[in-house]
Chains A and B, each alone.
Chain A
Amino acid sequence: MPEKLIFEKSVPGRRAVVFPELDVPALDLDSLIPKELQRKEPAKLPEVSENEVVRHFTRLSQMNFGVDTGFYPLGSCTMKYNPKINEETSRLPGFARLHPYQPEDTVQGALQLMYETTVDLSEIAGMDFGTLQPAAGAHGELTGMMIIRAYHQSRGDVKRTKVIVPDSAHGTNPATAALCGFKIVEIKSMPNGEVDVEALRKAVDDETAGLMLTNPNTVGVFDPNIQEIARIVHDAGGLLYYDGANMNAIMGYARPGDMGFDVIHFNLHKTFSTPHGGGGPGACYVGVKDFLVPFLPKPVVQFDEDQNRYYLDYDRPQSIGRVKAFYGNFGVVVKTYTYLRAMGGEGLKRASGNAVLNANYLLSLLKDHYHVAFDRTCMHEFIITPKNLKDTGVRTLDIAKRLLDYGYHPPTIYFPLIVDEAMMIEPTETETKETLDSFAEAMINIAKEARENPELVTGAPRKTIVGRLDEVRAARQPNLRYTE
């Protein structure tokens, strides 16, 4: 049964929230706000009781699927278990009830937490320092690319207007570079998923501002030529940007900073266990090498050793400026910090190693039943396609929908764009062998169904609360809000 909209439950005069009696003398409204500035018609918000509100949202939650509901192998998104202690610590009033403009002396614990998080993430990244101001990965990319732009400009090197992006890149990479005013030069990937080094060599010139790269890349392959790639870009005078969405593969094994990257972001809501919230809030760390520290967004959290005091440093003349108000998604950073302290360096390395083990294990179970896009040892994720099932008429979308009937969240589908009918599978380290076995069994069953009874797959899902949606109608006749 679908759930009515909260507006459809509204009954004039019904109320949930009440406020205390006004405890100051009430002045005449017209004397405070001129009549023409007063609202003529109140916003049509729902009029419902508290019980109804609570049932409504409880019901909506039941129409959702999260990591706590079941296996969620959504490639590139790192849907690992979200530790519950993180939720508890981030809700401590000493964090959640801090105003951003409180005097610095009253928020020393918060600043210390931000400082230590920045230092630890810099250690993991192999960078010198960083910022936690961006609110998500794409926001971090924006910050990082603005830093690259500011760096070139500070040297009067103003003709560097091009950014190189491999065709395997996530859509946010080219979109970000464009938002920063760069022209995008796309280079094709090699059949084995690696950057085409020769194509890169041809693409760079004295207009190259930088290269944006994900490594392990979006097909789950660690690019072994990374040092050569870095050298080509650096020799041409460009900088290297690291999209750290896939950092969950290599923590403690290798560091982007050591590979030659100059700027990097981590999505804290992927690798560092903070929940994704159904589409945010995320949080982001952007790390840089020493020579780029002056360009970080302001303010920067600093520690004054002499005074044993943390502070916000606004005096940064070369800073790119701000990318949002205040200091970042602090509440999410508290969860990251809790996770870092839970894991420690050793635990993080164990997480990565087992994320890679889980991916390779699952791949070993599936490789005889699906086409493997890049048949090699993978990192934390891999791509398969139903190319071998082509004659059945079953497509990736169908398999994804059929997985819903089996009680799984499907993998990421149709990304990256360079693989036809891609299914990108990222199991993460927090899943048991049994879970992976059952998922593989479901996938193998679906391949069998595709051959024996394809309608079972193409007609899926059948067990979900709604069937497949008419997305064309949604886009052609946009209905984006409720009206009576």
Chain B
Amino acid sequence: MNYVPHTEQDQQAMLKSVGKNSIEELYHDIPADLKLKRDLQVSGGLSEIELRRLLKGLADKNQHLDECGSFLGAGAYDHYIPAFIDQLLLRSEFYTAYTPYQPEISQGTLQNIYEYQTMICELTGMDVSNASMYDGASALAEAAVMACEQTRRKEFVISDAVHPEYRETVQTYTESQNLTGKPVAFKDGVTDLEQVKALVNDKTAAVIVQYPNFFGNIEDLKGLAEIAHAQKALLVVAVADPVSLGILESPGALGADIVVGEGQSFGNPVSFGGPHIGFFAAREKYVRRMPGRIVGATVDSNGQRAFVLTLQAREQHIRREKATSNICSNQALNALAVNMALSAIGKQGLQEMARQCLQKAHYAFNRLTALPGVEAAFPGKPFFKEFVIKLPQDPERVNEALFKEKIIPGLPLKRFYPELGNALLVCVTELRTKAEIDLLAERLGGLK
């Protein structure tokens, strides 16, 4: 393909106007010994016909979620995406725009973000939200940094029941600023409050947990908030599965100070882990320390309501090294998908979606734990749509065996939690049917 429109005559006319004889001459600032004297070894030059063939060939080497019954979750969730969403995301006025620096011709993007911010506040029970972060993990990392800045303390306490890849990201971000995360163990599948109490003191900036946690269990946010607040530390809550907020009490109502998470569940495909969309919300008093873009409503020269990027004195292009974060481009189009999905799913729809996840997950839990040798890892703990079971066999083997039958039973936890042995994290969304769950139980039960 060639996306350069110029003819030979165009080029000649333009070079003439510039006063040069060739394009090569335009590069005279590059020292001769730095010029690349060979062709780039990048294969290509394909037509669209060939590109389609090539990419289809690569895609066909993968097995995707429509070709199997997947019970994988762990931060990337296969939920229903209404048909209209992708058609509207392909409106190129949306997807070929840049960050809305010129509000007069960017009201579409800006109003979308304002609506999205409102929805995130509604879901999380927070006062303010930003325009988006790269993903849930980096949002949590920035929340940890922000809590330390806000409290001027250099330590935080983070639960082992937070998504392991979120914890790793937090570690990467905070380590370079000499901030220390103290891990708290979990007990019976939830954060051990006694240990939290023992670890939190007047040096603690934040207590960080996930809700529902990585195992799908529901943390005692109220209890955690009390412990944190008693030492003037913040409660930072990560929500990797915000569908749960259709049923669960909002973190804000339970005392959270900063709520971050992953919005992929709403309108965004799993897409091998990205692009997803981090959300970032907080109590109003922290707004001037928040990272990222924020959109506000104001009026235009005719006095009518309009939207604009605001509170930019926090940001890198104004504050440079004193900025609250370095984030610039974020995940605006994914936020648009979230807005579209939540608009269509709506107030009742979200409750229904959450109810179906909850009920199907419990049906699956009851079927699976009734199998001989299969046990609940954390019996009696309330969970939302994910749960952990212990298998009599190595779950990697089980996955291999069942994959031949087009079933992915879940995520073996050994790679993250060797101490949990043959544990498998199972996720059930509203898209899984009773028949698929029954088949999973049947095949799992049939394994030797």
Contacts and interface: CB of A to CB of B under 8 A. Distances in A.
Contact of A281 (B36, B100, B275): B275
Contacts of A283: 275
Nearest to A284: B329
B321 interface: yes
Contact of A347 (B44, B51, B382): B44
A464 B274 contact: no
B161 to A, nearest CB: 16
Interface in A77-126: 77, 79-83, 85, 87-89, 91-103, 106-110, 112-113, 120, 123-124
A39 interface: yes
B419 interface: no
Nearest to A89: B55
B218 interface: yes
B18 A360 contact: yes
A16 B23 contact: no
B346 interface: yes
Contact of B271 (A254, A331, A344): A331
A307 interface: no
Interface string A260-299: 0000000101000101111111110000000000000100
A136 B329 contact: yes
Interface stretch (A179-187, A196-204, A232-240, A448-456): A179-187
Interface in B389-431: 399-400, 403, 408, 411, 430
Contacts of A94: 56, 58-62, 64
Interface range, A side = 35 or more
Given A89-B52, A109-B59, A349-B40, A471 B301 contact: no
A254 B82 CA distance: 46
A139 B134 contact: yes
B368 to A, nearest CB: 13
A360 B26 contact: yes
Interface range, B side = 35 or more
A236 to B, nearest CB: 21
A338 B40 contact: no
Nearest to A365: B17
A346 B40 CA distance: 7
Interface string B128-143: 1101101111100000
Contacts of A351: 3-4
A178 B173 CA distance: 12
A72 B106 CA distance: 13
B187 interface: no
Contacts of A222: 27, 29-30
A377 B128 CA distance: 47
Interface string B38-73: 011111111010011011111111111110001010
B448 interface: no
Contacts of B360: 22, 24
Given A102-B63, A279-B100, A473-B298, A178 B322 contact: yes
Contacts of B65: 93, 97-99
Given A97-B270, A269-B329, A322 B169 contact: yes
Contact of B269 (A96, A250, A365, A465): A96
Interface centre among A2, A175, A254 (most CB of B within 10 A): A175
B52 A470 contact: no
A23 to B, nearest CB: 4
A482 B317 contact: no
B297 A172 contact: no
Contacts of A223: 29
B110 to A, nearest CB: 9
Interface in A459-484: 461, 464-471, 473-475, 478-482
Contact of B44 (A24, A25, A45, A343): A343
A240 to B, nearest CB: 14
Contact of B36 (A53, A258, A429): A258
A139 B120 CA distance: 23
B382 A33 contact: yes
A465 B329 contact: no
Interface string B261-277: 01000000111111111
A278 B336 contact: yes
Contacts of B78: 97, 99
Interface stretch (B89-97, B200-208, B227-235, B369-377): B89-97
Interface string B9-36: 0110111011110011011111100111
B329 A251 contact: no
B40 A348 contact: yes
Interface centre among B4, B178, B262, B329 (most CB of A within 10 A): B329
A156 interface: no
A64 B52 CA distance: 30
Contact of A40 (B97, B253, B298, B408): B253
A123 B269 CA distance: 31
Contact of A26 (B97, B165, B327, B359): B359
A149 B325 CA distance: 18
A27 B297 CA distance: 44
Contacts of A79: 96, 98
B370 to A, nearest CB: 14
Interface in A25-50: 25-27, 29, 32-34, 36-40, 42-48, 50
A360 B23 CA distance: 10
Contact of B115 (A7, A176, A330, A473): A7
B36 to A, nearest CB: 6
B347 A47 contact: yes
A467 B104 contact: yes
A138 B316 contact: yes
Interface in B310-357: 310-313, 315-323, 325-334, 336, 339-340, 342-353, 355-356
A221 B323 CA distance: 27
A445 interface: no
Interface in A349-367: 349-351, 353-354, 356-358, 360-361, 363-365
5 contacts: A58-B91, A135-B274, A258-B34, A379-B29, A430-B3
Given A66-B97, A69-B93, 9 more contacts: A22-B355, A24-B434, A89-B59, A100-B273, A275-B92, A341-B44, A346-B40, A433-B14, A469-B300
Ranked 4 nearest A-B pairs via Cβ: A326-B273, A344-B44, A94-B59, A109-B61
